[in-house]
Amino acid sequence: MANKIPTIAPPINKKPITAGSLFPRLGQAMKPLGKSDGTTTQITEEDYKEMRKQLNDAFEVGICPPYTGSYRCYVELGELQFEFKDTIGRLTRVRLHPDHPIQYETRVNWRNTLIQDLDYHASL
């Protein structure tokens, strides 16, 4: 039986964080492992799981829900970036001022919706 490496839970921040601190971190997470933007850049399942982890960590809401989908053999970064922008646009509806506080409960809801939408597109 292999030794299990303990999982370190990301920090939970129940205080509001600003849009100006959240959105740059989300944007950075959508560029996994230094891959360039591009509609045809292929993302491996490992890259995708790392992207999910970084997105989750940016929200500062604790452990990321597990990925339970069946990852497609070919997923393009541009496809996921488009879905990311579309989902964030639906969630925020308006451009938020960098000082706008985003409450913990809102971040949990946004994280869950974003991860769910991205998982769906990675599993189609």
Q: Give the domain extent around 113.
A: 36-123
In a domain, 17, yes or no: no
31 falls within a domain:
no
Q: Is residue 1 part of a domain?
A: no
19 within some domain: no
Cα(59)–Cα(85) distance, integer angstroms? 16
8 three-class SS:
coil
pTM of the complete model: 0.86
Per-residue pLDDT tens, the chain, 124 aa: give them: 445 555 566 779 999 999 999 999 999 998 865 655 556 788 899 989 999 999 999 999 999 999 988 998 889 988 999 999 999 999 998 889 999 999 999 999 999 999 999 999 999 7
In contact, 101 and 16? CB cutoff 8 Å: yes
In-domain check, residue 26: no
- The number of folded domains in the chain is 1
